[in-house]
Amino acid sequence: MTSDSGWSARRAGWALVGLTISILLTGCGQREPAPSETLAEAMADSPLEHALKHLDPKYVCPMHPQIVRDDPGTCPICGMALVERFMDPQTGRHPEVTVAPAMQQTLGVRIGTVERGTLWRFIRTLGRVDYDETRLAHVHPRADGWIEALHVRAEGESVARGEDLADLYAPAILSAQIDFLLALEPQTRGGTQVAADQARNRLRVLDLPEEVIRDIERRREARHRVPVRAPLDGVITQLAARQGMYVEPATEMFTIADLSRVWVLVDIFEAQIDWLAPGQSAEIRVPARPGRVWEGRVDHLYPALDPTTRTLRARLVFDNPDLELKPNMFANVVIYGGPKRDVLMIPAEALIVTGERTTVVKALDEGRFQPVEVVPGLERGGQVEILSGLAEGDRIVLSGQFLIDSESNLQASFQRLSTDDDRGGSAGATGDHAGH
């Protein structure tokens, strides 16, 4: 059998399955024979042949549902082959299906109502702990010189603000001290207050601590070694200085990180960006600290998406006073986007998602049902926002909707279907088709 004939056989088999479902649900519809068809000819048809005579197919593009044609062909936009979708020939909508109460109970059909309410937005993602770059300090000498004493020996050591890291001998700093001492001499020796202030400011520019400058002024004596001190509390994350090493202003001797506050970097999917804003609250948990929860906030959203992952990087800030959060730890992150109020919403279980469309089955009066296409929005806590397709107060099917939707698609031209619970026939069918 060729591939074409195999496809035709499978297609016919699917249609027959759909027809069988239709008969189980409803019996034959209230349709007159085709204009040129007699009752005898209709009775002679196989079930598949009879069903196909009453179908009114439309051909749509799977990627561009706005392209609808009466005949097979290809999409003028993307060139894909059009596929059949059966629609009501008069309204262009999905046809109604009638299911008797007894059959509804057998199928486990449950009915819900479209309501308005509040959905709480939150994002769960994975993040990575990093240094707060606003709390990093790089320590360089202000003049060429030699490290004559080193007070920290390894990376990871904790230091306090103002603590001596090293002692430096720098000829330029020694020369500046001598100029300062000369400016402090009485005017009889050429010193003036203006000159003294200028010399003092030069020592400040060379990063001499104030107490060292005051000690030089008090003692009237220059210091050959001057201290290099930590500008903040933190830990040594990079140590390039060594005892006796010659350094210059371009030399980064120490890098110090203040870990009392850290960043957590997360990647957010493109569809969730609209939920984010700086200042929103967030919390993290790390596998290394079971049971602990840290609360923080969204600090910054980066300006561009990653072109490969299609995600946006966000920066969260968390206080870390006990230093238990370590850079490069992984963290489970929850970002709270706040409430979205007065939204139209339904239970998420009511949605039929096929990839081409999203459908909900509406429950009409007298056991009638009709699939309608909807546009879903935010989904949280088992509830999903409906942007279009439904109205407040509409009754919808919460379970059993897949079989009803399948019946509606396959029997698109049937206008009214009914079921005879007593003898399994069509109680509502009249005319030449009664009893089919």
Summarised one tens digit per residue, pLDDT across range 154-165 is 999 999 999 999
Distant-in-sequence contacts of 307-311, Cβ < 8 A, 24+ apart: 309/267, 310/269, 310/270, 311/267, 311/268, 311/269, 311/270
With beta carbons less than 8 A apart as the criterion, state whether 121 and 275 touch: yes
Choice among 115-119, 220-224, 418-422 with the minimum mean pLDDT: 418-422
Q: What is the pTM of this model?
A: 0.60
Angle at 339 between CA 296 and CA 371, to 5 degrees: 135
348 lies in the same domain as 329: no
Q: How confident is the model at residue 79 (pLDDT cuts 50, 70, 90)?
A: confident
Closest CA to 414 of 147, 121, 95, 151: 95
Q: Find the mean pLDDT for residues 138-162.
A: 94
pLDDT at 209 over 60: yes
pLDDT at 385 over 60: yes
What is the C-alpha separation between 22 and 228, in angstroms, rounded?
A: 87
pLDDT at 346 over 60: yes
List strand residue ranges (DSSP E) for 160-233, in order: 164-169, 226-229
| Res 275: pLDDT | 82
Closest CA to 262 of 191, 333, 346: 333
Q: Find the mean pLDDT for residues 286-301.
A: 95
Q: Find the mean pLDDT for residues 254-273.
A: 94
| Res 422: pLDDT | 40
Residue that wins the pLDDT comparison between 20 and 397:
397
What is the C-alpha separation between 367 and 352, in angstroms, rounded?
A: 20
In the block, tokens 């140590």 appear at: 239
pLDDT at 207 over 80: yes
128 lies in the same domain as 263: yes
Q: How confident is the model at residue 192 (pLDDT cuts 50, 70, 90)?
A: confident
- Between β-strands 294-305 and 281-285, what pairing exists: parallel, antiparallel or unpaired? antiparallel
Alpha carbon separation from 60 to 115, 231, 357 (Å, rounded) = 32, 69, 12
Q: Find the mean pLDDT for residues 191-215.
A: 89
Mean pLDDT estimate for the chain: 80
| Res 237: pLDDT | 94
264 lies in the same domain as 126: yes
List strand residue ranges (DSSP E) for 17-163, in order: 57-60, 68-69, 83-86, 97-98, 110-113, 115-131, 136-139, 145-150, 158-159
298 lies in the same domain as 321: yes
In CATH, what number is assigned to the domain containing residue 387?
2.40.420.20
Residue that wins the pLDDT comparison between 242 and 408:
242
Domain boundary among the residues 311, 339, 367 is at 339
Q: How confident is the model at residue 227 (pLDDT cuts 50, 70, 90)?
A: very high
Choice among 76-80, 175-179, 275-279 with the minimum mean pLDDT: 76-80
Structural domain including 176 reads 139-256
Choice among 90-94, 149-153, 296-300, 412-416 with the minimum mean pLDDT: 412-416
What is the C-alpha separation between 139 and 161, in angstroms, rounded?
A: 12
Residue that wins the pLDDT comparison between 379 and 296:
296
Closest CA to 50 of 21, 71, 29, 24: 29
Domain count, the chain: 3
| Res 425: pLDDT | 43
In CATH, what number is assigned to the domain containing residue 296?
2.40.30.170
With beta carbons less than 8 A apart as the criterion, state whether 137 and 256 touch: yes
DSSP calls for 229-264 = E-SSSEEEEEE---TT-EE-TT---EEEE-TTEEEE
Burial of 366 (0-12, 13-18, 19+ CB in 10 A): exposed
pLDDT at 313 over 90: yes
Residue that wins the pLDDT comparison between 67 and 335:
335
Burial of 307 (0-12, 13-18, 19+ CB in 10 A): exposed
Q: How confident is the model at residue 435 (pLDDT cuts 50, 70, 90)?
A: very low
In the block, tokens 């596929």 appear at: 83
Q: Find the mean pLDDT for residues 152-175.
A: 94
Query: Could you give the angle at which helices 210-219 and 171-183 cross, rounded to 10 degrees?
Result: 50
Alpha carbon separation from 192 to 186, 189, 197 (Å, rounded) = 7, 9, 9
| Res 287: pLDDT | 94
Dihedral, CA of residue 158, residue 164, residue 169 and residue 171, to nearest 10: 110
| Backbone dihedral angles phi then psi of residue 124, each to the nearest 5 degrees | -105, 130
Summarised one tens digit per residue, pLDDT across range 44-75 is 665 545 555 555 566 766 556 667 787 888 88
In CATH, what number is assigned to the domain containing residue 166?
2.40.50.100
Q: How confident is the model at residue 423 (pLDDT cuts 50, 70, 90)?
A: very low
**What contacts 193, CB < 8 A, 6 or more positions away?**
none
What is the C-alpha separation between 276 and 282, in angstroms, rounded?
A: 11
Q: Find the mean pLDDT for residues 369-374.
A: 90
In the block, tokens 């000819």 appear at: 41
| Res 196: pLDDT | 87
Domain boundary among the residues 296, 313, 339 is at 339
46 lies in the same domain as 29: yes
Domain boundary among the residues 323, 339, 355 is at 339
pLDDT at 40 over 90: no
Percent of the chain whose predicted confidence (pLDDT) is above 90: 52
pLDDT at 253 over 50: yes
Closest CA to 139 of 261, 259, 257: 257
126 lies in the same domain as 168: no
216 lies in the same domain as 193: yes
Summarised one tens digit per residue, pLDDT across range 395-404 is 999 988 777 7
For residue 214, how many C-alpha atoms fall within 13 Å in the half-sphere facing its CB?
A: 3
